[in-house]
Amino acid sequence: MTVLTRRALNRATLDRQLLLHRAPLAVPAAIEYLVGMQAQAPFPPYTGLWTRLVDFRPDELGDLLVNREVVRIALMRGTVHLVTAADCRRLRPVMQEVLDRTLRATYSRQLDGLDLGEIETFGRKLVEPEPLLSSELTRRLMERWPGRDRQALANAVRTRLPLVQVPPRAVWGRSGQTTVTTADAWFGQPLSGDTAPDDTVLRYLRAFGPASVADVQKWCGRTGLREVVDRLGLPAFRDEDGVELFDVPDAPRPDPDVPAPVRFLPEFDNVLLSYADGRRIIGAEHRPALFTVNGIIRSALLVDGFVAGTWKINQTKGLAVLDIRPLVRLSNQVKSAVWAEGARLLDFTTPAADHNIRFLVSE
C-alpha cells in the first residue's frame, strides 16, 4: 500500500482546497466544490473565497445571499456553514442525526418532559410567515414554556427545523441581527428526503482527501462511516504513522516538492477544522496559537503550505493595519512574499483606507 508523506498530504490538500493555485471558478461552483464554508462568523467566507479564487469580489457573494442562491445554516459538526441553495436542501437531511445527537448530549436534562414535536410545530408557525429575529423567536419560546432554559429551547428549534439566517446579515458592507426562517419557506422547495451519507463522503474526499475515516467523521460530525467507506470501495493509502487513508479514484496528488504560495486563511477556515489529524497543514506545536480556549479559531498564515503564523486586521479611523504574528522564523525573502500578499489582502478588505503591515513578536 502506497505511503503518503506529510508533505505529500499537504500538497494534495492545498490542491483540493484551491490553495495551490487560485481557481477560475464561479462563486457558487466553488462553494459547492468545497462542500460549503465554515460561516459561524458572518464575513470570514469572503476572505476564504478571495484567497482561493481568481478576481473574487465581495459583491459576488453578497448578491448571491440576497438573491437566495446561497445561505447560512447549521450543518457539518452542527456549526453554521455557507452553502448553495441546492446543497442546503441536500446536506441538511444528511446532517440531521448530528444535530439530534448534539442536542441530546447538551440539553437532554433541560428539555426533559418537553415534546420536541410540539416545539418544532410552534417554532415553524413563528418563523415561516416571515423571517423572525432570533432573539424574538427565543422570547416567544420562553413565553410558551416559561421557566425553561432559553438556550435549550432555542437549540431545540434550531435542531428540529432547518433554520436559515437571512440577509442583510453576512452581506459585505451591511449589518443585521440574526434573523431566521425555514429553508423550505426561504426557497419555496422542500428538503431532500435522502439521509444517506455516501455522496457527502465522496464530496469530502474530493475537496479534502486523501483522508481517514476519522477525518471524515471529524469534518461532518457523523459517526459509523467506516461501513460507508468500505461500501464505496475506494483506493487506499497509508500515512507515515500507518493510518489508512482513502481517496476518490484519479484524484490529483501533486508532487510533494511543488512550490506553495503564501496564503492568508480567515478565521474558522474549514481546512483547519476538518481532520482528526491536522498535521498535514498545522504542526501540533502551533495549534494552541490558533485554537483558543474561548472557541475562536484565529486567522492563519500559510508559508510553504503549512501554518506559519496568525494575522489580524485592526482598523482605526482611515487606517487598516495588518498585524502578522509569525510562529516560525521567516527569511527576508519569505517576509517579502508575505508582505506582497498581505498588501493584496488589505486592498481587498479595506480598499478605501490607508494601509500598513506589521510583523509582531510571537506571544
DSSP assignments along 245-280, one per residue: EE--TT-----TTS----EEEPTT-HHHHS-SSGGG
Name the residue type at position 70. Answer: V
Tell me the CA distances in angstroms from 255 to 7, 15, 99, 204, one per residue in order: 9, 11, 39, 21
- pLDDT value at residue 294: 81
- Cell 449589518 belongs to which residue? 175
Residue in 242, 248, 243, 252 with CA at minimum distance from that of residue 229? 248
Name the residue type at position 121. Answer: T
- pLDDT value at residue 275: 98
Residues recorded for the chain:
363
- pLDDT value at residue 363: 57
2 backbone φψ class: left, alpha, beta (φ>0; ψ -120 to 50): beta
In tens digits, what is the pLDDT along the chain, a chain of 363 residues? 799 999 999 999 999 999 999 999 999 999 999 999 999 999 999 999 999 999 999 999 999 999 999 999 999 999 999 999 999 999 999 999 999 999 999 999 999 999 999 999 999 999 999 999 999 999 999 999 999 999 999 999 999 999 999 999 999 999 889 999 999 999 999 999 999 999 999 999 999 999 999 999 999 999 999 999 999 999 999 999 999 999 999 899 999 999 999 999 999 999 999 999 999 999 999 999 999 888 889 999 999 999 999 999 999 989 999 999 999 999 999 999 999 999 999 999 999 899 999 999 865
166 vs 178: CA distance, rounded Å: 8
Tell me the HSE value of 223 on the side-chain side, using a 13 A CA sphere: 6
- The answer, as to whether pTM is greater than 0.85, is yes
Residue in 153, 173, 191 with CA at minimum distance from that of residue 71? 191
242 vs 321: CA distance, rounded Å: 44
- The beta strand positions in 113-251, using DSSP E, are 132-133, 163-165, 179-182, 236-239, 244-246
- pLDDT value at residue 162: 98
* Exposed / middle / buried, residue 289 (Cβ in 10 Å: 0-12, 13-18, 19+): middle
Residue in 37, 28, 121, 125 with CA at minimum distance from that of residue 73? 37
- The beta strand positions in the chain, using DSSP E, are 3-4, 37-38, 70-74, 80-84, 132-133, 163-165, 179-182, 236-239, 244-246, 263-265, 300-303, 306-316, 319-326, 354-359
